Structure formats: structure tokens, C-alpha cells
Structure 1
Amino acid sequence: MVRDDCPSPHEKDFRAPTSRNQGYPVRAHRTAENSNSRRALLYCSLCAAGIAANLRATGEDLGSDSMNATNAEAVRLAVDGFYTALNAMFRGDLGPMDAVWSHADDVTYLGPGGDFRVGWNEVLKSWQEQAEMRLGGAVAPVDIHVNAGATIAVVQNREVGETAHSPDKPAKVSLRATNIFRKEGDAWKMISHHADRLAYIPE
């Protein structure tokens, strides 16, 4: 079982997004509950569950006990490629991000600020907006859990690190993420990325 020890919602988080910045954190401070993030989290959870159910119904085995080891290894390399691309994007370089994504019309991006983009053209616009900010810093995946089928893989992990847009106030990044990859030809391409902080749950 994947360990879920994300920080308490009472800890410092990141600022609510503006209409332009609906991507990764810019400056740390306490925020209130974000209904857009909660709706996006529910949507992506339902999508992942639906994909898994559909794959089982069509014979695509996602069980960890019978996971295809070759595909799982390739998917882990694809995960590494995405986070390498993410960190390049923080420096303003979009080339690696363009390479790791599928350019299909059905890809989706649900950013940690509530952004919801569908289709590669819209997803690319969001990454371009974030790249222009040159946030700096670095983010890494931890607690990676891979469910790999023959052509679809669902990956869940936490994202930790910081962005450095403001040198005197670096923004801590502590999110949980769902990444979905599809095998296109010989390559595993990202078709969905969803990152969110934990929605506030009353005690």
C-alpha cells in the first residue's frame, strides 16, 4: 500500500491562483479551502477509477501481482521524464514538456490551482503560461505507485520540492498527483496530469 502522509491542511501552503497562474505554487502562505481544487480532485479520481474499470472489463490487467514488469519499468522512466520536463519548464524551457506529452485531442491537465484544460493545444497553453513565469526551483516525485496495463498506465505519487520565483520567499511544493500514460508506438506518452493539495476535511 502506498504511504499517504501528506502534510496537514493547517500547515503553510501556497497562494490562491489568479486567472493567469493556475499552475504550480508561487509564494507560500496560508490559504482557505479551494472548491475548484476539490472538484478537480473528484473529477480526476473518478477518471482514474473509470479507466481502471474499463481496462479490467476489456482484459487490461492493472493488478500489481500480475503487472507487466517491462511496461512498469518503461512507465517509471516516463514518470522520470515528466518530472525532468517539469523542472525544465520551471526554468522556462518547454522542449522536454512537449516531448513527453501525447499531442492528442483527449489529453487533460488539471493544475494544482484549479486549472482544467482539455486537448493538447489547451494543455500546451497552460505550460507556456507557467514557463513564462520562470518559477525556478525543483519538484520531485516520491511514494510512486504504478499500475501498468498493456497500453495504459495510471501512476499516483506525491510531489515535493519548492519553486523559487521570489528568492526571499521560496514556495514550498507538497502535492499529490495522478499521472496517466498511454503507449503510442514504442513510447509511453502522458495523457493526463492532475496535481492537488489535500482538500480541507473537517475533524
Structure 2
Amino acid sequence: MSAPHTDVEQVELANTAYYEAMERGDFEEVSGLWLSPSDLGIDEEYHDPADAGVVSCVHPGWPVLTGRGEVLRSYALIMANTDYIQFFLTDVHVSVTGDTAVVTCTENILSGGPAPEGGSELGPLVGQLVVATNLFRRTPDGWKLWSHHASPVLTETDEDEGDDTPS
């Protein structure tokens, strides 16, 4: 098996691990999948890892988050407020050049929040269609997320809601 083909498979596995950890709500695993300053040779004794600007993330509808601390706080917040989430990935494309990889995909997301007040069941499930770009860097410990950018996809219904012209 050729090295480039192996790299693509390893990046695909890292990408899948990211989404599966999110589905399980495994914050420790999600944290371990993100690039750390030490992965880049930044000495954390002399540089504050939160200020290093090592990673970035854009969740659908959110502003850009930079720095490992800010990004990981966002995942903790999402996990604390989401009782159920499942990702069905489609249109997955992987490109590897040297120690950098780009994964583009469509996230078909099914999620549910906490139960309505007084209820014991999961709140209503909501579907969302999102396109995502995940950037990975090769580290001694394998491929790690460097940046995640996800944007909602407008559907015809979404476009029609903002259209005041008569049909």
C-alpha cells in the first residue's frame, strides 16, 4: 500500500473519530483529537496555550473561535446542552499534501435537546444540513484537527421564508 493512500485512510479515520466522539459526548476524546501547542513544538512553559491561536473553529451560526481553550469550551457547552446528536456524513472528500490534510463533507445532523420541563423524554429532534471543512495536521501521535468550519446549507424553504415577492 502506498504512503499517500495510507495517509488518506488515516485522515478518514481521524475525521470519523471526531464525529463519533461528538455523538458519544466524549469531551476527553474530542479534546485529544484537537491539535495542541506541544504538537506544534510550542513550549507551553513559555507560551500560554490558550493564547497560542493554534486552532480555530466555526460552528454553524457562530463567530470564529480561536485558540484551543476557546474552541474546547465551545464543545463543552454544546455537549452540556445537547442530549442527542447523530451525524450522517455524505460527500466526504479527503486531500493530503505533506503534513496537512483537508476533509470536506456534508453533515446531515439529527439532534435533540433536554426534555421539556417536567418531562423525562428527549426533546424534539431537529434535522440540520451543514457543509464542513476540517483541516488536519500530522503529529507524532497521528492526524489531529487544526480547524473545523461548518456552515448551514439553505434549503428552498429557507430561501422562500425571506422572499416577500408574490408568486
Q: Do Structure 1 and Structure 2 share a fold, with TM-score over 0.5?
A: yes
Partners of 1:111 and 1:100 lie apart in 2 by 17
Cα distance in 1 for partners of 2:140, 2:92 equals 24
**1:103 aligned partner, one-letter code:** S
Matches of 1:133 and 1:115, distance apart in 2? 18
Partner of 2:150: 195
Deviates more, 1:68-77 or 1:135-144: 135-144
1:159 aligned to 2:114?
Answer: no
> How many residues end up aligned between the 2 structures?
135
**Which residue in the other structure is 1:171 paired with?**
126
Q: Residues 163-191 of structure 1: CA distance to partner in whole angstroms, max 9, x if unpaired?
A: 02153521102111000000011400001
Q: Could you give the per-residue CA deviations for residues 104-148 of structure 1, whole angstroms, max 9, x where no partner exists? A: 332001011223110101101111111111331311321100011
- The amino acid of 1:101's aligned partner reads W
Q: Does 1:101 align with 2:49?
A: no
How far apart are the structure 2 equivalents of 1:201 and 1:171? 19
Task: Note if 1:132 corresponds to 2:80.
Answer: yes
Q: Is 1:114–2:62 an aligned residue pair?
A: yes
Deviations 1:25-84 (A, max 9, x none): xxxxxxxxxxxxxxxxxxxxxxxxxxxxxxxxxxxxxxxxx9911111110111111111
Change (3 A) 1:79 1:112: same
The TM-score normalised by the length of structure 1 is 0.60
Q: Which residue of 2 aligns with 1:182?
A: 137
**2:43 aligned partner:** none
TM-score, L = length of structure 2: 0.73
Gaps of 5+ in 1: 1-65
Aligned with 2:84: secondary structure? Answer: coil
Structure 2: which amino acid aligns with 1:164?
G
The gaps in structure 2 that reach 5 residues or longer are: 38-51, 116-121
SS of aligned partner of 1:131: helix
- CA 1:109–1:78 in structure 2 vs 1: closer, same or farther (change >3 Å)? same
Rounded Cα–Cα distance in structure 1 between residues aligned with 2:3 and 2:134:
17
Higher relative contact order at CA 8 Å, sep ≥6: structure 1 or structure 2? 1
Does the aligned pair in 2 maintain the 1:85–1:100 contact within 8 Å?
no
2:49 aligns to what? none
Structure 1 or 2: more strand by fraction: 2
Task: State whether residues 71 and 150 of structure 1, in contact with CA within 8 Å, keep that contact through their aligned partners in structure 2.
Answer: no
State the alpha-carbon separation in 2 of the partners of residues 201 and 155 from structure 1.
Answer: 27
